[in-house]
Amino acid sequence: MGKNIGFVSTRFAGTDGVTLETSKWAQVLKGLGHNYFWFAGKLDRSPERSFLLPEAFFQHAENQWIDEHVFGKKRRDPSVTDRIHQLKTLIKAKLHEFINEYAIDILVAQNVLTIPMHIPLGIALTEFIAETQIPTIAHHHDFYWERTRFIVNAVGDYLRMAFPPNLPNIVHVVINSAAQEELALRTGISSIIIPNVLDFENPPITDEKHTAEFRQSIGLSPEDIVILQPTRIVQRKGIEHSIELIEDLGDPRYKLVISHEAGDEGLEYAEWLKENARERGVDLRLLNLRIRDPMNPQVNNQDKYSLWNIYPHADFITYPSLYEGFGNAFLESVYFRKPLLINRYSIFIKDIEPKEFDLVVMDGYLTRNTVSKVREVLESPERRTRMVNTNYEIAGRHYSYAVLRRWLNTILTNFFGV
């Protein structure tokens, strides 16, 4: 018997990692015969499946006011506490409406009980889960203790209560082994690791016409060689290493394309990158296109290009991230059979590298040897073909929808029986 599944977060819109991964979960659950619905403060999903509550968005004015008064501070004024609880009460009432309207059988809390971007929403959800005993999967992408901006705060009581809550009717899911260990050490909560996945059983279908249009729209000529960094423009993505790589390759045909716009962390980094590229004589293209979620094709068609239109153009992918919770861009590159350079960030070293993918790796900085390995891959079709086919086969074993299907089936069977 199919279940009605309620996804809850502060936002299901655009192409951030949480939104993309949730769309994949929805696809797999639908394939297992279940139905799904959305509750968030910002949504670009089908309206008939959606419960929009603007106050649940992390950038809502009331939530931003609360953030300003609790992070970077040690003491919390009673008036701040009152406003947290007022917003919590509103959200909790709306969660009841959501559950009743769509006859929800199980909740999936997507990162909203993990990172305290919206404290009232986390508290509301925790109380709601405790009071109703509704079966819940808490899917954790990045915990507050992994981010320096949350270290000094005046809400330690709420963080211990709701980020994440330790309740018997919640199954906790993390995306890497370091998060699993840290969660257990800090809270005593046990969890399941379900890595990020892609549909390796079905290779990507490329829309040739749309793809050609995209290439023209950013002013690339047929002889240009595209080095793609498929990330947002935030400092931890290490884009300066990609600029340095293009300079060292020393060929004017190489163009560096960054797929996403400047992220949640301000525009200073983007300006610095432009300046850095100019000084080094590197042709840098920052795409400020609105890019739609390729996992969610039935909505948001106003966003003309999908990430899936961009990957086919890439001759090589750079992924010199300093830190990642998992690394969606890594999987996507492998899915599109693209060769890539990756920086050995800690989760990669621990969880991905032992799988023995064939990659060009760097260890925090570019060496002459690394640059020559990149050049070899770019200039040798045989080397490139061997590399990408090996990687696709390995990823199919470890990061396919089959892995996610198996885990979700197990969790739902444990909650509801056969």
- What's the confidence (pLDDT) of residue 401? 96
Residue 268 is predicted with a pLDDT of 86
Answer yes or no: is 203 within a domain.
no
* Nearest of 224, 230, 227, 221 to residue 248 by alpha carbon: 227
Instruction: For residue 202, tell me if it sits in a domain.
Output: no
Mean pLDDT of 368-388: 96
The CB density around residue 400, as the number of other CB atoms within 10 Å, is: 18
> Whole-model pTM above 0.75?
yes
Residue 22, domain extent: 4-197+401-416
Task: Note whether 275 and 385 are same-domain residues.
Answer: yes
User: Same domain, yes or no, for 170 and 269?
Assistant: no
The SS3 of residue 259 is coil
242 shares its domain with 125: no
Residue 369 shares a structural domain with residue 246? yes
Q: How many domains does the chain have?
A: 2
Tally of CB atoms within 10 A around 274: 13
Whether residue 180 sits in one domain with residue 47: yes
Helix H, strand E, coil C: the string for 45-107 is CCHHHEEECHHHCCCCHHHHHHHHHHECCCCCCHHHHHHHHHHHHHHHHHHHHHHHHHCCCEE
Residues 250 and 393 in one domain: yes
pLDDT digit string, tens, across residues 313-345: 899 999 999 888 888 889 999 999 999 999 999
Please state whether beta strands 35-40 and 192-193 pair in parallel, antiparallel, or not at all (unpaired).
unpaired
Q: What is the mean pLDDT of the chain?
A: 92
Spatial CA neighbour of 395 closest among 198, 176, 229, 230:
198
Question: 92 and 110: one domain?
Answer: yes
Same domain, 185 and 64: yes
Q: Are residues 256 and 300 in the same domain?
A: yes
pLDDT bracket for residue 393 (50, 70, 90): very high
43 and 119 in a single domain? The answer is yes
- 257 and 328 in a common domain: yes
pLDDT at 206 over 90: no
pLDDT tier, 218 (very low <50, low <70, confident <90, very high otherwise): confident
**Cβ atoms of residues 371 and 248 within 8 Å:** yes
Task: Judge contact between 343 and 318, C-beta under 8 A.
Answer: no
pLDDT for position 390: 98
pLDDT value of residue 65: 98
- pLDDT band, residue 217 (cuts 50/70/90): confident
Check whether residue 113 and residue 240 sit in a common domain. no
Round to whole Å and give the CA distance between 352 and 140: 18
Q: Tens digit of pLDDT for each residue in 236-253?
A: 889 999 999 999 999 999
